[in-house]
Structure 1
Amino acid sequence: MPRTEVDPRYGDPDAPATPWPVAERALSSAELYRLTTVRPDGRPHVTPLIAVWHTDALHFCTGADERKARNLTANPRVVLTTGDNALHGGLDVVVEGVAVRVADEAGLRVLAAEWESKYGPEWRFEVVEGGFANPHGTALVFRVEPTTAFGFAKSPYSQTRYRF
């Protein structure tokens, strides 16, 4: 379990910390995430994508020639965000970590099953050497274990930091 703390500067001073299991459920059940990587020239790059929460980490995939994959080659540090697009309710979660490539066949098979279970047969992936089959080549799969995460509750407002 991560160390949890509330920063009273960013919300109701009496708001409790959002428990990690609540943030973890939000990470697990979200359908869409935003991935932020850093371009070689230092500019940020943000893109929406789907992901799965499995064994205490978020997993996403991308084509080897896509901007985000090229960015990760130079700098594997990322931020993944998800949440509710509402001002007065819900929970937004931000995960900071390092994207590590998953290339072992057994791990890829488990993750392919996770994607299909969560998103349905439209997202059935065939495991090939080093990733998932993709019409344009191989989709690389990455694992991001949180190093730090934040939960932004919006009723009442609060900011909880999770340190791993």
Structure 2
Amino acid sequence: MTAELLENTQDPAGTSAFIFNQTAPGPAKPWSWAENLLASAHTYWLVTTSPDGVPHSRPLWGVWDQDTFLFSSQNRCGRFLEVNPRASVNLQVGEDVVMIEGSCSRVIAVDEINVLAEAVGVKYDWKLSVTEGRVHTQFGQSAPVFRLTPQRVYGWAGIAEWESATRWDFPRAR
């Protein structure tokens, strides 16, 4: 195994983030802190932009898996992502803040979509069936599946605890 491959499988190092016109005094949070919050969150907010640049924000369910965020959406944000794949995902509740910034891509392969469907079944007790490029509910709805690949993640512990604001830079292969 090459040194480069070993380096790419390590967790990203957090650095103090620039926030409120200054660098947070720290200490920086470990990646495991942010990753645990991303994995355990129940609801997330997805932010996209329309083709004419209007922000669009909506709550959704999703799954943090191997340094990517998987979700499905039959909402207009899916159409927006076809035009501009840049997006942000944020935790919905709690005092702790974690924000992912990155690019979305469609997930087509059934085996990859099964990762989302199985995780949604466990996490939300919601059964999904899978076909190429889509998930389907028991009520007849169908939606494309997307993967948000992070380029940068920000987080800090507690709304008032901005001193711990941390930035983790991506990408890296797993």
The TM-score range, normalised by the shorter chain, is 0.7 to 0.9
Partner of 1:15: 26
Partner of 2:128: 125
1:63-78 correspondence runs (5 A): 63=74, 66-78=75-87
**Given the superposition, is the C-alpha separation of residues 79 and 13 from structure 1 closer, same or farther in structure 2, using an over 3 Å criterion?**
closer
Instruction: Give per-residue Cα distances to partners, 1:45-92, cap 9 Å, x unaligned.
Output: 0001110011211111011xx210110111010000015444xxxx21
Identity %: 35
* Structure 2 counterpart of 1:58, from 62, 69, 79: 69
Tell me which protein shows more strand as a share of its residues.
Answer: 1
In the superposition, the TM-score normalised over structure 2's length comes to 0.81
**Given the superposition, is the C-alpha separation of residues 102 and 9 from structure 1 closer, same or farther in structure 2, using an over 3 Å criterion?**
closer
Instruction: Give per-residue Cα distances to partners, 1:84-133, cap 9 Å, x unaligned.
Output: 444xxxx210000111111101111222101111111xx21011232112
1:65-104 correspondence runs (5 A): 66-82=75-91, 84-86=93-95, 91-104=96-109
Partner of 1:143: 147
**Given the superposition, is the C-alpha separation of residues 153 and 104 from structure 1 closer, same or farther in structure 2, using an over 3 Å criterion?**
same
Partner of 1:4: 14
Give, in whole Å, the separation in 1 of the partners of 2:114 and 2:131: 10
Moved beyond 4 Å, runs of 4+: 8-14, 134-137
| Equivalent residues, number | 156
Contact 1:130/1:138 (8 A) holds in 2: no
Structure 1: segments with no counterpart, 5+ residues:
none
In the superposition, the TM-score normalised over structure 1's length comes to 0.86
